[in-house]
Amino acid sequence: MKHLNKRTLPIITALAIVTAIIILRSTTPEPEPHETTLIQPNQLTTQHYLEDYQYLVNIIESNYPYLQLKDRTHQTNWLNKQTTTTTRLQNCNTNTEFLEIITQEITALQNRHTRLLTPTEVQKYYTTYQEVSFMAEIFTEEVAKANQIWQAYYYDLYESTNKRYPVEILYDRGNYIITNSQGSTTTQYGANLTVTHINGTPVHTAIQTADTYIDHDPTRDQPYIWALTPKSIPDPLITVTYPNGTKFTLTLPTFYGTPRTNYYPTTNLITRTYSNQSTAYIYIKTFDSATTQELAPTIRNFLEETKEYDYLIIDIRGNTGGAFHSWLDTLVTPLITEPTLHEYYLAYRNDPYVTTFHDNWLNDRTPVPKNHFTHLPPEVLTSDYNIYNFSTIYYPTDTINHTAKRILLTDRTVYSAAEGLANYCKQTGYATIIGTTTGGDGFYVWPLYVVLPHSKLVITMTSSMSLDHLGNVNEETRTIPDITRETKITDYNELIEYTLRLIGEGKIP
């Protein structure tokens, strides 16, 4: 998410909300007269399901910025799913089934900013901003009441899909490894096992239809999922290989519980020093505004205490974002010594839904000529997109005079505002980046909200395409480290140890 300072955040929030309201009122398809009356979720019919889905398809087709990009990267066209999804909805018998289908359709858009809001989130927006007319008009009492009823259906869906295996099957440097065995699995089958096939299909092919976020491995140029779970591919027959090449098949039992997909520290902040190498280390789990504000004094004190050190390691692995100002105010402006330009752009679709959102909120900006860029994707070169300059100059504030060489540790999970920091480091040389390629979508400003007309389910979706100074799509190219180093998925300390070794050998640029 884009940098928003504390003073302007409430104003911009309100502007974003009122714009979304204007969009919902003036540019979405007009409902039929009978749709203006609140239909309780328990009164929904198959026709309501179908009309809600078609409404969503229409909005996505004309406004979602990444349809063609995901078609290229995932070799699948989301719009081509309509016949299959319509058939599923026609055979849908319960609200829980409808909720599952809509959730799966949104997941299939393959963007980590685009998702269904939970009833708890809808209630939070409604309650917190009831006195703010803009928010109160989009998260209405009608929407809030409907989502209160949806809470039970969410619970049913969660209870039925929140399953795990007695082992964790994680993607690790090109392979799906079985780790953290529980019960008799290790005793029965041994350790160091790799999954090679699912239901007789090579695993790297089978996962391409998984019901989960499908990532891309740039080192091997192949799609992958972070973890093989009962939800992503139900009831699989798994072919497993020992290190010596021996193979066997098994079906794993499932248990209630949340599967683990990563091995990150559980605390929000870790600071430590390696005084023998004149190195300070700081781990920041999130750039959530409230959390970072609470941690800011501790971060500043640590930077003050280590300002004579030669190296500063900033570890943001596992950080999925929050707000630009969280890293800007704590890790950048106190340490820079002169103004620095962070250059980035947003490409918006030209449908009235999203352009009304843009024009009412950011109407002081003019489109940037497309010949300004050298690496624009083909769809952005068409008249369907306009590009706007969101570049920002960062100025030193409350300078600490920390003179260390800075190192940023990254991995695939780094996303949104955390991706923004990685991009800033790469573009300006603020820090040497070590680790693996990040997750993308780093210049995200504010979402679009879509309220389905009958069910009142609320979708939040990314509103624009993030572009770097060359026109590369950040969601696609992401941020490539200066020094790429893959480490074992279950060993968080391995990359830290590798970085300290580079420091000791004088190999940090």
Q: Are 339 and 396 in contact (CB under 8 A)?
A: yes
pLDDT, tens only, 227-247: 999 999 998 999 999 888 899
pLDDT bucket at 185, cuts 50 / 70 / 90: low
Q: Which of 187-191, 219-223, 442-446, 481-485 has the lowest mean pLDDT?
A: 187-191
Q: Say if residue 28's pLDDT is above 80.
A: no
| 267-286: average pLDDT | 98
Nearest to 320 by CA among 24, 115, 48, 99: 115
Rounded Cα distance, 107 and 170, in Å: 20
Q: What is the DSSP letter of 189?
A: H
Q: What are phi and psi of 262, to 5 degrees?
A: -150, 165
Q: Where in the chain is the domain with CATH 2.30.42?
A: 164-256
Q: Say if residue 468's pLDDT is above 90.
A: yes
Q: Where in the chain is the domain with CATH 1.20.920?
A: 39-161
Rounded Cα distance, 421 and 416, in Å: 9
Fold category of 39-161 in CATH? Histone Acetyltransferase; Chain A (1.20.920)
Rounded Cα distance, 304 and 163, in Å: 46
Helix segments in 34-118, DSSP class H: 46-63, 67-74, 82-90, 95-107
Rounded Cα distance, 479 and 438, in Å: 5
Q: DSSP string covering 13-41, please? A: HHHHHHHHHHHHHHTSPPPPGGGGSPPPG
Burial of 276 (0-12, 13-18, 19+ CB in 10 A): exposed
pLDDT bucket at 356, cuts 50 / 70 / 90: confident
Q: What are phi and psi of 179, to 5 degrees?
A: -140, 170
| 188-212: average pLDDT | 90
Q: Say if residue 6's pLDDT is above 50.
A: no
In angstroms, what CA-CA distances link 203 with 23, 197, 462? 43, 5, 30
| 20-39: average pLDDT | 38
Fold category of 269-504 in CATH? 2-enoyl-CoA Hydratase; Chain A, domain 1 (3.90.226)
Q: Say if residue 369's pLDDT is above 90.
A: yes
Please check whether the domain covering 164-256 is classified as CATH 2.60.40. Answer: no
Rounded Cα distance, 465 and 64, in Å: 9
Given the DSSP bridges, would you call strands 385-389 and 345-349 parallel, antiparallel or unpaired? antiparallel
Nearest to 3 by CA among 366, 314, 446: 446
pLDDT at 327: 98
Rounded Cα distance, 113 and 449, in Å: 12
Q: What is the pTM of this model?
A: 0.90
| 380-395: average pLDDT | 96
Q: Which of 28-32, 107-111, 459-463, 486-490 has the lowest mean pLDDT?
A: 28-32
pLDDT, tens only, 136-164: 777 899 999 999 999 999 999 999 999 99
Which residue's entry shows tokens 């990254």?
Answer: 410
pLDDT bucket at 346, cuts 50 / 70 / 90: very high
pLDDT at 390: 93
Q: Are 435 and 481 in contact (CB under 8 A)?
A: yes
SS3 8: coil
Q: Say if residue 57's pLDDT is above 50.
A: yes
| Chain centre distance of CA 49 | 27
Q: Say if residue 187's pLDDT is above 60.
A: no
**How many C-beta neighbours within 10 Å does residue 235 have?**
9
**How many C-beta neighbours within 10 Å does residue 238 have?**
23
Q: Is the four-CA dihedral 50, 54, 57, 63 of positive or negative sign?
A: negative
pLDDT at 441: 96
Q: How many residues are there in the chain?
A: 509
Burial of 175 (0-12, 13-18, 19+ CB in 10 A): middle
And the tokens for 201?
Answer: 């299909």
Which residue's entry shows tokens 């505002």?
Answer: 417
Q: Which of 8-17, 81-90, 193-202 has the lowest mean pLDDT?
A: 8-17
Q: Say if residue 82's pLDDT is above 50.
A: yes
| 39-65: average pLDDT | 93
| 352-370: average pLDDT | 78
pLDDT at 261: 86
Q: Where in the chain is the domain with CATH 3.90.226.10?
A: 269-504
Helix segments in 235-387, DSSP class H: 289-305, 324-327, 352-361
Residue with more model confidence, 363 or 318: 318
